[in-house]
Structure 1
Amino acid sequence: MKIAIIGASSGIGLLTTQQALRKGHTVTALARSEIPLPDHPLLTKIQGNATVPQDLQKAVQQAEAILITIGTKKKNAGTLFTDTARALLSLPDSIKVPILWVTGFGAGTSKPYLSWWMKLVIHFFLRNEYEDKGQAEQHLQQSSLSWEIVRPGMLTNQDLNPSYRFYPQLEAGMRVGPISRASVADFLIKEAENPQFLHHAVALSN
């Protein structure tokens, strides 16, 4: 199938691109910086900005699934996530394909379900980023798009864990711990191939 991956130069996006190619999918990958992958007959690399509608349109125009894995290493991410959501919603042609958007556990309605430790970490170090992610989630949820929000726990660089857990509903007492980026990538590809949780926000944990 044809998959668009937005934010493909590192982290979850890069791993998802690699996994999708290994499974024989055709990938269009958009990133602001150079994507560190060799040329591949199934890969189209686009250097651009997810917050610019014209760049986004180039990446998604033939996609059968859209995976949004944007992120930033900057302490102040600004409004990257809401700006990307607005750019997506402004595209001239109505998008009919599934959109899987990676935010993080603790964004939006999942905030009250955090452990006390993660509440402190996000409050003191990631508060602006998670507020922006929550607002982007709202934009998506209030749209007519076929969305799915993916909320991983704290990300690690460990190998894929085939027995990772997913929670399509928020539950009292749920414990969402660390999860590898490779495991998140695996979930994204499987959901792109066969969407099970459209219009849900799914938490991921090892």
Structure 2
Amino acid sequence: MNNKKKNVLVAGANGTTGRIIIDILQKSNTYIPVAMVRKQEQKERFESEHVTTVLADIEEDLSQVVTQIDKIIFAAGSKGKNVVGVDQEGAKRLTDAAKQAGIEKFVMLSSMGADNSSQNKELEAYLKAKQNADEHLRASGLEYSIVRPGQLTNEDGKGRIELGSKLKKSGSISRADVAKTLVEVLDNDVMQNQTFELLEGETSIENAVRLN
């Protein structure tokens, strides 16, 4: 039995959700986090916390970033400043690099509404970018899970969620619970090759992702 820990690249590690993901992975018995960041000072901060870190720009060549990596969580985002360059093309570029490298699984942080971007005029460009990135991942041949949460909050995680391919309602969920869900679906055969929406709910995260 192979008990070697898996290296998980976290794109967007310095973001609010990304930092939570890194913290969860650091405490894991299964995974080792690898933080992908854009700035030297971010790299130094993670390394001071004993987190392996790679310096890379999501808009540049990423082929070297995925060497020695087993799985990927894409949690990067431009906060509306460059949705095509980062949220869409950056995600597609990392997907392509992952495909070339034979990555075991790619977990994408998307957004509720990404399958129907025209319904939300305010966020239409962002949701369209996420939709295009999701479709690129689905067509890549990689093993994947695409996680589409509702509105993100900075509240403490409750550890309980509701998920489904289409929840047919709006709502919110804490970044902490989203981060935990992203890590839970890293497991092979958990929500494998599925796209699902995610809100605060009543079922424990561990059970919710394995009952579907």
TM-score relative to the length of structure 1:
0.82
Q: Mapping of 1:18-97 within 5 angstroms?
A: 18-24=23-29, 25-33=31-39, 34=42, 36-37=45-46, 39-41=48-50, 43-53=51-61, 56-91=62-97, 93-97=100-104
Which structure 2 residue ranges, 5 or more long, are not aligned? 1-5, 201-212
Query: Equivalent of 2:153, from 147, 153, 156?
Result: 156
Deviation digits for residues 69-127 of structure 1, max 9, x if unmatched? 0112244533322212332344383424110000100002x559xxxxxx4xx312x21
CA contact (8 A) 2:151 2:172 kept: yes
User: Structure 1 counterpart of 2:9, which letter?
Assistant: A
Match of 1:191 in 2: 185
Structure 1 partner of 2:204? none
Deviates more, 1:74-83 or 1:184-193: 74-83
- C-alpha change, 1:26 and 1:128, in structure 2 (3 Å) is same
Deviation at 1:13, TM superposition (A): 1.1
Distance 1:38 1:74 in 2: 28
Q: State the 1:194 CA deviation.
A: 4.6
Indicate conservation of the 8 Å contact 2:109/2:147, yes or no. yes
Structure 1 residue 66 displacement after superposition: 0.6
CA contact (8 A) 1:28 1:59 kept: no
Where is the strand percentage greater, Structure 1 or Structure 2?
2
Unaligned runs of 5+ in 1: 113-118
What is the aligned partner in structure 2 of residue 116 from structure 1?
A: none
Query: 2 CA distance for matches of 1:137 and 1:2?
Result: 23
Hey, what does 2:10 align to over in structure 1? 5
Give the match for residue 134 of structure 1.
131
TM-score by length of 2: 0.79
Taking the aligned partners of 2:192 and 2:7, their CA distance within structure 1 comes to 18
Compute the RMSD of aligned alpha carbons. Answer: 2.2
**How many Å separate the matches in 2 of 1:2 and 1:80?**
23
Kindly provide the amino acid, as one letter, of the partner of residue 189 in structure 1: V
Q: 2: distance between equivalents of 1:150 and 1:21?
A: 21
Q: Tell me: CA distance 1:46–1:96, structure 2 relative to 1, closer, same or farther (3 Å).
A: closer
| CA distance 1:61–1:195, shift in 2 (3 Å) | farther
Mark the CA change 1:74 to 1:96 in structure 2 (over 3 Å): closer, same or farther: closer
Letter in 2 for 1:47: L
Give the number of equivalent residue pairs: 190
Contact 1:3–1:67 (8 Å) recurs in 2: yes
Instruction: Give the distance between the partners of 1:195 and 1:157, measured in 2 at CA.
Output: 29
- The alpha-carbon deviation at position 50 of structure 1 amounts to 1.9
Residues 176 and 194 (structure 1 numbering): CA distance in 2 closer, same or farther, change over 3 Å? farther
Relative contact order, CA 8 A, sep 6+: which one is greater?
A: 1
After TM superposition, the structure 1 stretch with the greater mean CA deviation from structure 2, 156-165 or 75-84, is 75-84
